[in-house]
Amino acid sequence: METLTYLEAISQGLAEEMRRDASVFLLGEDIGFYGGAFKVTKGFIEEFGKDRVLDTPLSEIAIVGVSVGSALMGMRPVAEMQFADFISNGFNQIVNSAAKLHYRLGAAVPMVIRCPSGGGVSGGPFHSQNPEGWFAHTPGLKIVCPATPEDAKGLIKASIRDDNPVLYFEHKKLYRHIKGEVPEGDYVIPLGKGRVHRSGRDLTIITYAAMVYEAEKAANELVQEGIEVEIIDLRTVLPYDKELVLESVRRCNRVIVLHEDTLTNGIGGDIAAFISQEAFESLDAPVTRIAALDTPVPFSPPLEKAFLPNAEKILAAARKLLAY
């Protein structure tokens, strides 16, 4: 094991896959000589050369289009959006081309789009969104949202090896704030498999990405009150691990579905409906959803704090649910 930041784990995973497979290449804005806006690809152009680390124009539609075409020709592109918010410029090519090509033609589309996402960094309404919900409605895509350095590396490697288009959302606030042990050597974490971040018996919190840590803060408070919270980290939100969700809900009988994206029509609504349909008789209280407010992401730090889910909001909801 070695200790890496979340950012270092992603960078290491990318480099290992590029050394392993010559068909893997990177493209995006400023990822080459500058090393990327967040320095994830720092040093890559020196090792792999400008033919495999492509600095592109500021055009997400071009980046996505090149990725789709090169994937169809047998390459494995890894595109960076720089900020996940601007993936909307390539929306049509993702949902109407990449996602449907296997269904229409039987063709593999092995491409990854890296999407630095999330708030808590005072980035404002155009650099702080969590747009995974836009794409979760689209069959043919896979959506990955890692929380830990170990998962970040194992999931980026698995995403690159997958023959389907994968949207890989990496949370900006976690880049340098989170460190953890990462196995040495080659390993992958299967897409679609969640994990138990914390075991409990009284309440399940189902979440992913940065909200895993807000849930953990709340759980640490509740354990002082004799309440044991189980935290399920989905890792992959399309497809998500339905068996793991049901196992936890049937054991703990109360559930909070938590995500950083806005509430209305968020991924949490689908998970809540699934639980109500498949595990209704195991529930001792209504399924509770916690998410961001239905507004654009504020730039002001105090307003952003009020906008985002946090441990305090989770605690209030958990105590209400436990008293039901």
Confirm whether 127 is a catalytic residue: yes
DSSP result, 5-24 = EHHHHHHHHHHHHHHH-TTE
Query: Among 102, 127, 177, 259, which one carries the catalytic annotation?
Result: 127
Pair 196, 248: CB distance under 8 Å: yes
DSSP secondary structure, 83-149, as one string: SGGGGGGGHHIIIIIITTHHHHH------EEEEEE--SS---TTS---THHHHTT-TT-EEE---SH
CB atoms within 10 A of CB 278: 14
Q: How far apart are CA 99 and CA 140, in angstroms?
A: 4
The DSSP line for 221-264 is HHGGGT--EEEEE-SEEES--HHHHHHHHHHH--EEEEEEEEST
Provide the annotated active-site residues.
Answer: 127
